[in-house]
Amino acid sequence: MPFSDEERNKILEALKKKKVPRKCPACEGTEWTLGEQYTPLALNDMSAGLVVGGPTIPTVALVCKNCGYVSLHSTLILAHLPVKPEQKEPPND
Ligand SMILES: [Zn+2]
């Protein structure tokens, strides 16, 4: 499911706070776009062969608009994401 506007804003705010991104390491471009949803990075113990559905690191992907270089950022480190929309209190009456 694509990021909600709230999730997207929190991610962009967290990246900005950490001074990410800067220049693209591949082409030195400075324009980036955020991937549409979380990008799970698979962790795999190859002694057991390829395991589908195993543990992952949740990341967000920044993509260089010029060359397509992909920069992945762990949401756990970045801002304790994934974020969930704040739940509204039910009315008391
Ligand atoms: Zn680039």
pLDDT band at 33 (very low <50, low <70, confident <90, very high): very high
Enumerate the domain spans of the chain. Answer: 5-79
Percentage of the chain lying above the pLDDT 90 cut: 42
Pairing verdict, β 39-42 and 70-74? unpaired
Q: If you measure from the C-alpha of residue 68 to the centroid of ligand 1, how many angstroms do you get, rounded to a whole number?
A: 6
What is the reported pLDDT for 82? 54
Q: Are 26 and 69 in contact (CB under 8 A)?
A: yes
10 Å Cβ neighbour count for 48?
Answer: 8
Spacing, Cα 35 to ligand 1 middle (Å): 15
Per-residue model confidence (pLDDT) at position 86: 41
